[in-house]
Structure 1
């Protein structure tokens, strides 16, 4: 039996007819950029998360960079974040000229430990970026309380946690601004790259919309006026064709980016969004099966805080014999993934920051022990039983 870590082909087969129909409609419309699907998906996604504004962008990394720029973070600033995450979280901080300050994580949830944050705050600290890693929300009440005490902004990196909940509130609605990725392997993935910024702050939304399209047009002018304290009416952008010609894009007010979600990706995502909660529930049931059947082994199974809804973007196990176990599973047709073998504070790219082995012991401990096993909504009972059987066989 061969079982992949994630099976995108299986997912596509369940929605093929609707996806194909929506994509073909985009082709026949010849409206490929910032068209009706993008507008509708932004509206639908904002309603799903429970926020006022959704600003689609080219990918999750762009979302983080643009959100940081909109918050006014730049050269000489510091941003506190976790070392146990994908590189783009810290990379986005560096991209805007700021410095990532890494705080150790909890060993059980892998999320940033709020108890370690306060001692890292300096006069240069401007924001905290908690990452809801592998689909489990971070301790947002504690993080927000610290942020309010020190007048810091909170940017949620929810790229791995779409649909997850913290105290019955969706991730993305828990800080000042939040970012999502729609990379194909995510719980809500498109057929290429895509991302989203969400916020309840009207001014932040205007700046983000301006920055994603070269600081131009109506949103560029609104953002310029806001940033410069100018109070004047801005003519509404009524252009309908952003693919061929939009005269307003030749008037630029800010230095921005070219980062847009295209119509085809939005068309795919509009099919998937109504199915997301159902898919996440299936992931949770798969996790329950794994937890139940692996609890008596030497493996450490994932911990889920009582007040969250974990959506298991990845199902992470811990083993003292990770390399041997991963190889054994590979020989038996079971795919695995190691996330993340080198924590961010020890990456060569950040050698200048002065962190050493032992600086953040929990992140380093996890980087040597954690690995993912197959987790997707379409996993069959036969596949799950086979995976558990092989894990127990190795454990004997």
Structure 2
């Protein structure tokens, strides 16, 4: 192809279009912070926490510096540590298991369901048994609402109740989605989310939040995020972190939250068009009954025998970017190979790591551009 005729690249995630839509409202929000100069724990932080509580239905929201800190803070607040086991899916971003390892506890990796990519409760049960066989004490499970779709929270809660575990929902990719009519943020002991810029609700840097109905937990979390402080900053009553959300990021998120529901609806329209256009050539993601998704990623599975690298190269030549979440499940990565895996292994996760690939997904993907993506996918499969 002539270099001058090369197709204009499609954005994988289009933060610029959202920025243009918000326009002056973001400029004014940032200018307000620059004027009052309360860059740490300014008034916008409490305002954002109240808005997130209203949106999610959670009684308490504690914002923090990242999604990883959100997970870690809850584990710290619960005193999780050496000798404890925390069950989590292996087919997820490393932060899920990383937060566990940072406490000194042992992440025990379990498998996911083929259809939803979310935690498999049968593997969860086997993982709990495997942990006990190793002399570990299972204390918690971290289901992940992967790629934007809620995990099966009733099933997870049932196992957790039987086994005496608390549930920490990792909604870093799923915040804004719902399960059986309830928004994420109200399941389990606590829910952690991330506001990394690429997330459906993202800021312009790092950020995160914890949602809980437990007032005592919320109070402990607020202490942990500021070095474990008690009555003042020189009265530290526990080991803590520097894990506050910047006021500037809070101001930005307040404005983004106002258009979030509209963006979720747009993401679902994009997902529906993909399903219609690609459902007969690749395995498209499916929503479990009673679940909605915010489509943090639109992840397809390629037909058996398709060379994924060649497929990605064919799309790239058409100006269509792709990404692989995740080419290695956690138990396959160097840092995590020494941690236990549920009895029977994690065969679904290992298969997914070999054949998944994600297509551009955002609220500003117009029909013409999406038609171009669909055509490129169909052409690469046929070719």
TM-score by length of 1: 0.90
Pick aligned residue for 1:344 from 322, 327, 330: 330
Q: Where does residue 254 of structure 1 map in the other structure?
A: 238
Q: Does 1:11 align with 2:18?
A: yes
Give yes or no for the alignment of 1:70 onto 2:77.
yes
Q: Which residue of 2 aligns with 1:126?
A: 139
Residue of structure 1 equivalent to 2:288 = 305
Unaligned runs of 5+ in 1: 219-247
| In structure 2, C-alpha distance between the alignment counterparts of 1:354 and 1:279, rounded to whole Å | 39
Instruction: Give a deviation string over 1:156-215, Cα, whole Å, max 9, x none.
Output: 000001110000111121111110100000000001000001100111111111000011
Aligned equivalents of 1:333, 1:56: Cα separation in 2: 38
Q: Measure the CA separation in 2 of the matches of 1:101 and 1:153.
A: 15
- Is the partner of 1:372 in helix, strand or coil? strand
Mind listing any 5+ residue stretches in structure 2 that lack a counterpart?
1-7
SS in 2 for 1:368: helix
Structure 1 stretches of 4+ moved >4 Å: none
Go from structure 1 to structure 2 and tell me whether the alpha carbon gap of 1:172 and 1:330 turns closer, same or farther (over 3 Å shift): same
Equivalent in the alignment of 2:3: none
Distance 2:341 2:101 in 1: 16
Answering whether residue 227 of structure 2 is matched by residue 214 of structure 1, we say yes
Q: Is the contact between residue 63 and residue 210 of structure 2 (CA under 8 Å) also seen in structure 1?
A: yes
Maintained 8 Å contact 2:207/2:245: yes
Task: Give 2:247's aligned residue.
Answer: 263
Tell which deviates more after alignment, 7-16 or 117-126: 117-126
CA contact (8 A) 1:284 1:312 kept: yes
Number of the residue aligned with 1:238: none
Contact 1:346–1:355 (CA under 8 A) maintained in structure 2:
no
The Cα RMSD (Å) is 1.3
The corresponding residue for 1:327 is 313
- SS for the counterpart of 1:79 is strand
Equivalent residue, structure 2, for 1:227: none
The answer (yes or no) to whether the contact 1:165–1:171 under 8 Å persists in 2 is: yes
User: Shift of residue 62 of structure 1?
Assistant: 0.6
Question: Partners of 1:353 and 1:114 in 2: how far apart?
Answer: 19
| TM-aligned CA deviation for residue 311 of structure 1 | 1.2
Aligned-partner Cα distance in 1 for 2:203–2:97: 24
The answer to whether residue 111 in structure 2 is matched with residue 104 in structure 1 is: yes
Say yes or no: does 1:56 pair with 2:63: yes
Greater shift in the superposed pair: 370-379 or 111-120: 111-120
Query: Which residue in the other structure is 2:48 paired with?
Result: 41
Instruction: Specify which of 277, 295, 304 is matched with residue 279 of structure 2.
Output: 295
Return closer, same or farther for 1:355/1:197 CA change in 2, 3 Å cut-off: closer
Deviation (angstroms), 1:150: 1.3
Corresponding position of 2:208: 195
Distance (Å, rounded) in 1 between the aligned partners of 2:54 and 2:283: 37
Asked whether the 8 Å contact 2:147–2:297 carries over to 1, the reply is yes
Report matched runs for 1:79-90 at 5 Å.
79-90=86-97
SS of 1:100 mapped into structure 2: strand
- Output the CA distance in 1 between the equivalents of 2:144 and 2:357: 18
Counterpart CA distance in 1 for 2:374 and 2:224 is 48
Displacement of 1:353 after TM fit? 2.5
SS at match of 1:249: coil
Aligned counterpart in structure 2 of residue 166 of structure 1, from 179, 190, 194: 179
CA distance in 2, matches of 1:145, 1:354: 23
Give the aligned partner of residue 389 of structure 1.
Answer: 375
Q: Distance in 1 between matches of 2:317 and 2:272?
A: 26
Does structure 1 conserve the Cα–Cα contact (< 8 Å) formed by 2:63 and 2:245?
Answer: yes
**Residue 364 of structure 1: which of 346, 350, 373 is its match?**
350
Q: Which stretch has the larger CA shift, 320-329 or 174-183?
A: 320-329
TM-score (norm 2): 0.93
| Among candidates 183, 200, 217, match of residue 204 of structure 1 | 217
Cα deviation for residue 216 of structure 1 reads 1.1
Q: What SS does structure 1 have at the residue aligned with 2:337? A: helix
Measure how far apart 1:395 and its partner are. Answer: 2.3
